[in-house]
Structure 1
Amino acid sequence: MSSYASNTRTSRTSSGGSDLARLSTVSICFAACIAGSMVGVGVFGGTPIAEAAGGALSADATYLAPAGSAFSIWSVVYTGLGLYTVYQWFPSQRRSDRQRSLGWLVAASLVLNAAWILTVQAGAVILSVVVIVLLLAVLALCFRRYATTRASGWLEAIAVDGVLGLYLGWVCVATAANTASALTAEGFRGFGIAPEAWACVVLAVVAGVGAGLAAAGRGRLAPAASLVWGLAWIAVSRLNGGLESVPTAVAAVAAAVVVAAVTVAFRVRAVRTAASVKEAR
């Protein structure tokens, strides 16, 4: 009995130490990410992202670049990540299996976020694509993990599911825009295919990704909200910016409508299924 009790205490101590390391790492990475974002907007003397790398990521650089106002969503995402960072320290969450499955991934996403800003500041646009693809992969894995379980309440639904969903949806749009910018900067000419045609194809792929997230997440609203936001601002940029393209704008609006419609459909289905199960009980 004494040996069993000793092993149990050791296990708890080890688990507690691991939890503390995870919580602390997320907090440190969040601080680093915020510092990186300040560099990205020029607060600490860095060149704003839209002007870095010779303007490769400006609103008029490619047909897939959103208007500048679209990037205000980062304020919401960063505020949400701050909420997540605080929330994970709640006594009820420190040893939560859900937090344990997500914490290290969230920390990795924060590091990659800051790394992306630094690579763009350094003018390494191709490398920035590698970084943002890794970021997208990490957030997709987060989505896969939290989408299979339910939040314990409304606060967790916002601080975890909502925040990470917005983050993922926006990075989907940002990855498409970043890739287009890098290819354009490197002189890619689309194998003779018109840039507008490529833009429409990519927007169709983004719509497919949004529909896939809606299906996998049973109509989760947050990823769809930021996806629709990004797509809408691509349309605005193509109608009012320096690189006008009505076909691309129409394709962006169509993609946004598809993502919204499919998400609502799966959401309604999920609500009806939950209501049927409740009635059956």
Structure 2
Amino acid sequence: MMLNIDLTGKIALVTGATGQLGRVMTRTLAQCGAKVAIHYMSNAAKARELLQEIEEAGGQAMIVQGDITKKEQIESMKEQIREQLGDPDIVVANAVVQYGWTSVLEQAPEDYVSQFESCVMQNVLLAKAFIPAMIEKGRGRMIGINTECAMQNFPNQSAYTAGKRGMDGLYRVLAKEVGAHQITVNQVAPGWTISEKDRGADDLNDASYVNQVPLKRRGEDQDIANAVAFLASDLAGFITGAYIPVNGGNVMPAI
């Protein structure tokens, strides 16, 4: 039997859809047949470009704007998506606040707050907004974009790592709480990934990084999107509570 990722009839929301990884996830879910809500915070031009691209390919999509750390804005997004597409079957939490990395002693306290809000509270608010409709349907997918940094704990990663490790704990608990409704809750953890902004550079496989990666190369943005599409599909219907590194083996969860 040929396996096929078919999301026809499914509705997906991707937060941070205009970002380097988010845009490829959005395209891929649409190519698999899902109707997609394209979320953005500030890059309206890229959101419109994605919408046009999906519609020209015969897909259905819409754009929603909002601050994913604010309850009222997520609630507004929910109502807009429900009105135009319906209640999402798939929620991909990809958005994260960007900041400058430095040591614990030098990192501004507000950077820890921003990471908690965008890594933990975003997912709390998304769950509260969208999981009740999934429970009514008796199915659903929550997919969070984590990071290999959550296992590395390298210098200067503290705020990002703290936020993502908090997210990991939330996802594991949520997976146990909603599993009886056939809702799966999983995380994809990219490594240092090649995306659109990198292509064309002279050296994409920096030796200091790839020498430690078993596959001896960096992954592509499409690799991350493929994992998301798989977890969104019926093929992954019996996988939940997972933290799945997509990084060539650079980090490996222990048992």
Comparing both structures, which one devotes a greater share of its residues to helix?
A: 1
Work out whether the TM-score is over 0.5: no
> When you count strand as a share of all residues, which structure comes out higher?
2
TM-score computed with the length of structure 2 as normaliser: 0.37
